[in-house]
Amino acid sequence: MKHKLVFATNNRHKIEEVKALLEGIGGTLAEKYDIVSLSDIGCHDDIPETADTFVGNARQKAYYVKEHYGYDCFADDSGLEVEALGMEPGVRSARYASEAGHDHEANNTKLLRNLEGVTNRKAQFRTVICLLLDGAEHIFEGICPGRITTERSGNRGFGYDPVFCPEGYDVTFADMPLEFKNSLSHRSKACAELVKFLNKNN
Ligand code: IMP
């Protein structure tokens, strides 16, 4: 019987990305683990995310699922860190411009305004994953370094993609085809670490 592993998200895209990674390495992990979403286990709760670090939020979500639903699981938390802004917006990335959150346009406007005249444009996306498996906790991280542009470019992706240029490229994430962005992204790097671990433990 497969080991049910809950990914503490209802974002279909994230679930598919992780499943594709699991299947991409010979199919052995896909045979062992059944990756399911929160709605697959009947969880429609508004899971608290009130910590002030990515690790804290990822742990909070993973332990919530384990404690309330009993399943082994993993949870992720991501955001943008800008050096000249003291690594802000960080855990407040989604809510940078307004507490209501997810107003990507307003977030980008605020970010570009706060960096007006600033020459240090260094920034990075970070993803942390907390895995709870067989009674133990494991933390994985992925970082995508880059810089913040002076104006928006591109219409793909989401969030800060139109103002983030990954290191080694002169175009933004929003200029790139999604599969190419995903291959460079913080999320895929953290997922790759998780998959490497599961593979080793297999
Ligand atoms: P989440 O933890 O993956 O939901 O990400 C939180 C917030 O960080 C998002 O709402 C975005 O503002 C920002 N963010 C995370 N990953 C990305 C990305 O790949 N591109 C652009 N923005 C991102």
Give Cα 107 to chain centroid, integer Å: 17
Residue 160 Cβ contacting ligand 1 at under 6 Å: yes
Q: In the block, which residue shows the tokens 């910590």?
A: 51
Give per-residue pLDDT as tens, 9-35: 888 878 887 777 777 654 567 788 888
The per-residue pLDDT for 43 is 95
Do 119 and 135 contact (CB within 8 A), yes or no? no
Separation of CA 72 and ligand 1 centre (Å): 24
Q: Per the structure block, which two tokens stand in for 64?
A: 């919530």
CA of 160 to the centre of ligand 1 (A): 7
* Angle separating helix axes 186-200 and 12-23, nearest 10 degrees: 50
Tens-digit pLDDT profile for residues 64-77 = 999 999 999 999 99
pLDDT of 180: 92
Q: In this predicted structure, what is the pLDDT of residue 97?
A: 96
The whole-angstrom distance between residue 120's C-alpha and the CA centroid of its chain comes to 24
Write out pLDDT tens, residues 88-123.
999 999 999 998 878 999 999 999 999 999 999 999
Q: Where are the beta strands (DSSP E) in 24-97?
A: 33-36, 72-82, 88-89
Mean pLDDT of the chain: 92
Average pLDDT over residues 53-67: 97
Give the per-residue pLDDT at 24. 66
Identify the CA nearest to 46 among candidates 72, 73, 68: 68
Q: Which atom of ligand 1 is nearest to the CA of 173?
A: 20
Q: Residue whose CA is closest, atom 13 of ligand 1? A: 79
CA distances from 62 to 19, 125, 129, 144, 153 (A): 18, 21, 9, 23, 35
The β-bridge relationship of strands 72-82 and 3-7 is: parallel
Report whether 21 contacts 188 (CB < 8 A).
Answer: yes
For residues 139 and 120, give the distance between their C-alpha atoms in angstroms, rounded to a whole number: 30
Which one of 77, 103, 134, 175 is the catalytic residue? 77
DSSP conformation class of 13: H
Ligand 1: atom nearest CA of 181 is 19
Amino acid at 114: N
Proportion of the chain in helix, strand, coil states, percent, rounded to 5: 40, 25, 35
